[in-house]
């Protein structure tokens, strides 16, 4: 009996020891998993803190820039909160009612239409403006013929901005009256010629396409029946909504899949360009103050397609675009592991976050510049500065001799063309000289071209 009890007790103790041993064996993998998880959390926390520290270091230039700007003495006599560094073109009443004062509603106009005009093209300009008014555009007219009184009979003329300077060009006006700080309230700026037919153009639909496709610089396509079509890329493609490049094997410039620049891709012409706010900030600085005809600029506008577009998640970092009250823009790179919610909409001080950018802050003109086919215009090719319209019929022998005589004695149109060609050469020389002198500047498109070639051959 005693032996049976001893065996039973021994069996029970053995069973208990086995259970304890089994529990210990099961706890070991669990403890290992728990330790691994804790180490991973510790690692991620350390990395996260390091990235935040790195981002704070990247933000330091803002403080440095702000402090140096205020300490420069130019604005040192003013308290910072009173400084208003930007403006708009909205007309303000001389007085207002007490109810309207309390509301102080901000302007709802987000777009600007600016056109150089002469009284002879009054009907064409009226048709253009009538298209834009329903979309809440601010209208600005540059009167190059000095005639403003002839426009007051139009219903919308009282609310337009009128600027007068005789015999000046679109680019002369734009450089002097469309400073980025003045037009910073507008998301898009339409800087158009006056001789455009807009029967097949709707600005609202146009802007929807521009926004959806992320185009920073664009233009409506030209009707194939337009006068003075200089580049095939601007001609409307009937089956497309928009296009970014053209394929053409004719002429001196061959355009194919491997073409990387103007006029095959990344190109708009000067007759009807449309700029985003950031693109205009760059383009305004590209306009040369003394070269008023703007020849050559169209080939360089792609450098101003900054790219406020989307980013691709597989990338390891993205850029945040910050804008100061004075329209200074700075791109700061942050890692993708940083949550968007952790990036404040307003950086302490004078900077405001306006968008998230892709990994290349310089943008890509093959993606950010385009021509809208579904909303197209007719370019009439009316010669305004210089005073003559293009002939509508073949000239007789007598008329041809008269024309040649006028050319020899100083035809204004011929003189303007000579001036434009001369300015084109000056602009090209300045660009080459600027590239040569700026040792820190790297052509982003040459770098991207080399990368694509290596990728194709690799």
pLDDT tens digits, one per residue of 145-170: 999 999 999 999 999 999 999 999 99
**How far is the C-alpha of 400 from the C-alpha of 420, rounded, in Å?**
24
Per the model's pLDDT, the better-predicted residue between 273 and 350 turns out to be 273
Confidence bin at 269 (pLDDT 50/70/90) = very high
Mean pLDDT of 397-426: 74
Per the model's pLDDT, the better-predicted residue between 38 and 376 turns out to be 376
What pLDDT score does 93 carry? 82
Pairing state between β 369-379 and 196-197: antiparallel
Round the average pLDDT of the chain to a whole number and report it. 76
pLDDT tens digits, one per residue of 308-319: 443 333 344 445
Fold of 109-306+364-379: Spore Coat Polysaccharide Biosynthesis Protein SpsA; Chain A (3.90.550)
Mean pLDDT of 275-285: 94
pLDDT tens digits, one per residue of 229-268: 888 898 988 888 989 888 887 777 788 888 878 888 889 9
CA 422, 428, 433 angle in degrees (round to 5)? 125
**How far is the C-alpha of 185 from the C-alpha of 38, rounded, in Å?**
50
Long-range contacts of 420-429 (CB under 8 A, 24+ apart): 420/293, 420/295, 421/295, 423/291, 423/292, 423/293, 423/295, 423/296, 424/295, 424/296, 426/288, 426/291, 427/288, 427/291, 427/295, 427/296, 427/297, 428/296
Contact 398, 215 (CB under 8 A): no
Long-range contacts of 448-455 (CB under 8 A, 24+ apart): 448/260, 448/364, 449/260, 452/260
Identify the burial level of 244 via C-beta atoms within 10 angstroms of its C-beta, where 0-12 means exposed, 13-18 middle and 19 or more buried. buried
Please state the domain extents for the chain. 109-306+364-379, 317-357
What pLDDT score does 101 carry? 57
For residue 102, pLDDT beyond 70: no
What pLDDT score does 122 carry? 96
Per the model's pLDDT, the better-predicted residue between 288 and 383 turns out to be 288
Pairing state between β 274-276 and 188-191: antiparallel
Per the model's pLDDT, the better-predicted residue between 430 and 23 turns out to be 430
Mean pLDDT of 98-117: 73
Mean pLDDT of 344-356: 52
pLDDT tens digits, one per residue of 430-440: 999 999 999 88
Mean pLDDT of 1-14: 50
For residue 190, pLDDT beyond 60: yes
For residue 227, pLDDT beyond 70: yes
What pLDDT score does 355 carry? 52
Confidence bin at 71 (pLDDT 50/70/90) = very low
Q: State if pTM tops 0.85.
A: no
């Amino acid at each position: 009996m005693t032996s049976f009890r001893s065996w039973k007790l021994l069996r029970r103790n053995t069973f208990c020891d086995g259970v304890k041993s089994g529990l210990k064996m099961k706890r070991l993998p669990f403890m290992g998993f728990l330790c691994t998880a804790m180490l991973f959390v510790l690692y991620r926390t350390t990395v996260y803190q390091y990235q935040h520290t790195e981002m704070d270091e990247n933000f330091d230039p803002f403080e440095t820039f702000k402090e140096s700007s205020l300490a420069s003495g130019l604005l040192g006599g003013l308290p910072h909160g009173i400084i208003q560094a930007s403006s708009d073109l909205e007309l303000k009443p001389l007085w207002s009612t007490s109810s309207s004062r309390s509301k102080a509603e901000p302007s709802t106009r987000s777009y600007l239409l600016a056109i150089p005009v002469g009284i002879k093209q009054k009907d064409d300009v009226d048709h253009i403006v009538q298209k834009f008014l329903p979309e809440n555009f601010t209208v600005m007219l540059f009167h190059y013929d000095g005639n403003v009184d002839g426009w007051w009979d139009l219903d919308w003329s009282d609310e337009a901005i009128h600027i007068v300077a005789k015999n000046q060009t679109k680019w002369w006006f734009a450089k002097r009256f469309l400073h980025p700080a003045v037009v910073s309230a507008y998301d898009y700026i339409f800087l158009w010629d006056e001789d455009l037919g807009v029967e097949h153009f709707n600005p609202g639909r146009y802007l929807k396409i521009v926004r959806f496709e992320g185009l920073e610089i664009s233009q409506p396509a030209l009707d194939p029946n337009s006068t003075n079509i200089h580049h095939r890329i601007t001609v409307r493609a009937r089956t497309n909504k928009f296009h970014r490049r053209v394929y053409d094997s004719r002429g001196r410039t061959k355009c194919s899949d491997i073409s990387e620049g103007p006029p095959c891709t990344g190109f708009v012409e000067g007759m009807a360009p449309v700029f985003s706010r950031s693109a205009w900030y760059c383009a305004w600085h590209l306009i040369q103050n003394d070269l008023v005809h703007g020849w050559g600029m169209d080939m360089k506008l792609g450098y101003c397609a900054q790219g406020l577009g989307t980013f691709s998640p597989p990338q390891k970092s993205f850029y945040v675009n910050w804008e100061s009250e004075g329209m200074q823009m700075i791109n700061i790179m942050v890692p993708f592991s940083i949550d968007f919610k952790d990036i404040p909409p307003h950086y302490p001080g004078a900077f405001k976050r306006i968008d998230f950018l892709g990994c290349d802050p310089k943008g890509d003109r093959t993606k950010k510049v385009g021509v809208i086919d579904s909303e197209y215009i007719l370019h009439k090719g009316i010669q305004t500065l210089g005073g003559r319209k293009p002939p509508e019929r073949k000239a007789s022998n007598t008329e041809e001799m008269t024309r040649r005589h006028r050319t020899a004695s100083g035809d204004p149109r011929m003189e303007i063309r000579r001036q434009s060609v001369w300015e084109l050469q000056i602009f090209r020389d300045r660009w080459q000289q600027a590239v040569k002198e700026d040792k820190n500047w790297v052509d982003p498109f040459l770098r991207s071209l080399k990368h694509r070639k290596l990728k194709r051959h690799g």
